[in-house]
Amino acid sequence: MKPTTVTSEDSFRDHFSGVSEDGKRNWFYPQKPKGLWHHRRVLFTVFILIILFVTPFIKYNNQPLLLFNVLERKFIIFGLFIGPQDYWLFGLTMLSFMVFIVLFTIIFGRLWCGWACPQTVFMEMVFRKIEYAIEGDSGKQKLLNNAPWTGDKILKKAAKYSAFLLVSFVIANLLLSYVIGVDELSKIVSEPIDQHVPLFSGIVIFTAVFYFNFAWLRDQACTVVCPYGRLQGVLMDRNSIVVAYDYKRGEPREKLHKGQDRNAGDCISCFQCVAVCPTGIDIRNGTQMECVNCTACIDACDTMMDKVGFDKGLIRYTSENAIVSGVNKLITNRTRAYIVVLILLWSVLGYLVVSRNDTQTTLFRAPGSQYIENKDGTISNIYTFKIFNKTNKIVKPTIQLDSPKGTLLFAGKPDLTLDGAGMSEGTVFIIIPKSALKTRKTKLQLSVFQGKEKLETFETTFMAPE
């Protein structure tokens, strides 16, 4: 078979910008971004950071607004508690979230990556800013890294990495506040550490992970590790809105010379768009997997266009179809199909949430047991029961036989009080007068109450002589 020849136009796809020809890591020194889009991103970052840091402290019905306790499989999503019993609710929520992500990506490309992803927000807007403040812009950073270890270099590096460590520690605490809640997290401050060794170890481990991520891994978290980034190729299409270079307007690119009678395109080959790119790519090669849509190249190019008197927007938010034909269809048959699926999923989810009970009870006849005929003319069946609390609050349930009339006699004196997401189990006899039983197998209807509030209704069967 003939090997596929790659045209020189596509040859940039043969290599990964993060790795050099000799297989070593390409360490990027992006120039400090500035301009209108960067200003907008700074404002949005402040907004995002406020939301991120304030949300763990917001309580609704005495519980966190958001909690993702993967260790105990307890989740709270905007006040809705999802415990281990609600795996279907959790699965459906995740499924609808994924469909939403796909739909959002088809329409808006990697808008999330550039504006709201915590990796980009912290890397570009916090860690990179600390680096610029201590070591200076890209040229100075390069010089400092290649310089011998003088007192000044040691001081700058120590200051930078100490600040990185401190911010990593803060982010580790932030993450844990979403996993275990601020109340649990605050115990490490108010109580002796030896009572919270696992929690303390978690903070240390996450601090180390974040430090490694932001001090060393950086752009490779997006280009090598992140599955969302790697899925872009299959999610986006020619109508997706991305940061793109308008090659119809820009090509043929050519340097600008004074007094020149210019017949070339608007790209003046200044390479400013490449110099600011945190993932080291040339956006003029087209949409690439490495592009996190950070908008730095839009600002850099707009600044150059301004300087030479050309219209801004050579690099801008647009789609391939808009560049080629000037027309862009945001809502296509593909997006319509995803919208329908999403509406269906949300409808089912909404119904399940509204019709959900606070408890889930199972009551099965004890294995191998038969009915017992009592001397007082009643029949007894023996059952094992389990009651699960599907809320995050304490529930004190009582079980009642609705029909036919009869009594419940619990073995021992079980305490049915259920902790949040807790479970109680035991054995119970159901005793019914023989006269109330018409057939050998009777369907029983039972209810679970808390006080006067009915929490749940369920059924089981009762065996009696013919």
For binding to ligand SF4 (CB under 6 A), which residues are involved?
A: 243, 245, 250, 267-273, 276-279, 281, 283-284, 291-297, 300-301, 304, 314-315
Nearest distance in Å: CB 286, ligand SF4? 10
Pick the closer one to ligand SF4 by CB: 69 or 269: 269
Contact 434, 453 (CB under 8 A): no
Instruction: Give the helix/strand (H/E) hosting 444.
Output: strand 441-450
Compute the half-sphere exposure of residue 390: CA atoms within 13 Å on the CB side of its CA: 18
Pick the closer one to ligand SF4 by CB: 200 or 271: 271
Shortest CA distance to 244 belongs to which of 316, 153, 324?
Answer: 316
* 387, two tokens: 């009651």
Nearest distance in Å: CB 106, ligand SF4? 19
- Beginning with the edge strand found earlier in the chain, give each strand of the sheet holding 453-463 in spatial order: 398-403, 441-450, 453-463
DSSP code per residue over 171-202: HHHHHHHHHT-HHHHHHHHHS-GGG-HHHHHH
Pick the closer one to ligand SF4 by CB: 317 or 338: 317
Nearest distance in Å: CB 225, ligand SF4? 16
Nearest distance in Å: CB 396, ligand SF4? 56
Pick the closer one to ligand SF4 by CB: 19 or 209: 19
Contact 25, 18 (CB under 8 A): yes
Nearest distance in Å: CB 279, ligand SF4? 5
Q: Is 281 left (phi over 0), alpha (psi -120 to 50) or beta?
A: beta
d(CA 417, CA 387): 10
Pick the closer one to ligand SF4 by CB: 172 or 270: 270
Contact 221, 213 (CB under 8 A): yes
Residue 355 CA: distances (Å) to CA of 89, 107, 143, 358, 456: 12, 33, 64, 10, 10
Nearest distance in Å: CB 281, ligand SF4? 5
Burial code (b: 16+ CB inside 10 Å, e: under 16) for 286-315 equals bbbbbbbbbbbbbbbbbbbbeeeebebebb
Contact 432, 378 (CB under 8 A): yes
Nearest distance in Å: CB 283, ligand SF4? 4
Nearest distance in Å: CB 264, ligand SF4? 11
Nearest distance in Å: CB 51, ligand SF4? 23
Nearest distance in Å: CB 316, ligand SF4? 11
Dihedrals phi, psi of 463, to nearest 5 degrees: -100, 140
Nearest distance in Å: CB 270, ligand SF4? 4
Report CA Rg, the chain: 32
Strands (E) across 310-377 are located at 315-318, 359-365, 372-373
Contact 266, 272 (CB under 8 A): no
* DSSP single-letter state for residue 216: I
Pick the closer one to ligand SF4 by CB: 241 or 292: 292
d(CA 299, CA 305): 10
